Amino acid sequence: MEKILIVEDEPDMVMGLKDNLEFEGYEVDIAMDGEEGLSRMLTLKYDLVLLDVMLPKLSGFDVCKKARKNKVPTPIIFLSAKGEELDKVIGLESGADDYITKPFSLRELSARIKAVIRRSTTQFSGNDADQVVIGKLKVDFNNYTAYEGSEPIKLSLKEHEILHHLWRNKNRTVSRDNLLDSVWGYDFQPTTRTIDNFILKLRQKIEENTDNPALILTVHGVGYKLVMG
């Protein structure tokens, strides 16, 4: 049975969501403030977290950021009220998977939940998901190999990890901070300039034209986006 954590401080909302999700066959856990939500995410395993943005003690954004810094991979859907900064919610900075704006229909929420859980289970398992064609290269993220045609192309460990992270988030903007956290962890961090240099090297290996990249795009002031059809 898939297990969902609801982090929400409005009791009516909590009860409504809990009843409906249980009716749909999910196991449901509840946290009424940000700190409790984070501690549950760090200690228990969930298939999905529904995370309210405005919470007592710790905001939803902070819960999400801290969870990601601690390598919690659980997919997160933000529950946001109208007028909150949706650009942030989408996860440019915080690392969420989706968001839904209150008031929402339960049918819409249910569809989002299914989509996000499906996406995360295909991402974290299945071998075919680890072998992908990116531009000129065929990359095997499992075995750390890359080929252009039959020619092996050497990618460093970090180049592999950066490319893998961009690929997992393909067609979405990944901030430099998010790359730093995901690839280097938060104990040791190189400068953002280092990231730019790695990106340049990756472009030289996968792009047809390094001066005019079509795959790894720069999102000015934010980070990078791997564009794939």
Would you tell me which residues interact with Ca ion (CB under 5 A)? Answer: 9, 52, 54
Alpha-carbon gap, residue 78 to 56, rounded angstroms:
15
- Considering the complex, state which of residue 104 and residue 124 has its C-beta at the smaller distance from Ca ion: 104
- Closest by CA to 178, choosing from 142, 133, 223, is 223
- Closest by CA to 90, choosing from 111, 61, 62, is 61
The residues with which 78 forms a beta bridge, in sequence order, are 51, 99
Minimum gap (Å) between residue 41 Cβ and Ca ion: 17
Element (H, E) at 26: none
- Considering the complex, state which of residue 54 and residue 222 has its C-beta at the smaller distance from Ca ion: 54
Residue nearest to Ca ion (CB): 54
Minimum gap (Å) between residue 30 Cβ and Ca ion: 13
- Considering the complex, state which of residue 36 and residue 130 has its C-beta at the smaller distance from Ca ion: 36
- Considering the complex, state which of residue 6 and residue 216 has its C-beta at the smaller distance from Ca ion: 6
Q: In angstroms, what CA-CA distances link 48 with 7, 42, 98, 152, 167? A: 11, 13, 11, 38, 21
Strand order in the sheet with 223-226: 173-175, 223-226, 216-219
State whether residue 51 is helix, strand or coil: strand
Minimum gap (Å) between residue 56 Cβ and Ca ion: 8
Minimum gap (Å) between residue 9 Cβ and Ca ion: 5
Minimum gap (Å) between residue 17 Cβ and Ca ion: 12
CB atoms inside a 10 Å sphere around CB 8: 26
Minimum gap (Å) between residue 158 Cβ and Ca ion: 39
Reduced to 3 DSSP states, what percent helix, strand and coil does the chain have, rounded to the nearest 5? Answer: 40, 20, 35
- Considering the complex, state which of residue 54 and residue 115 has its C-beta at the smaller distance from Ca ion: 54
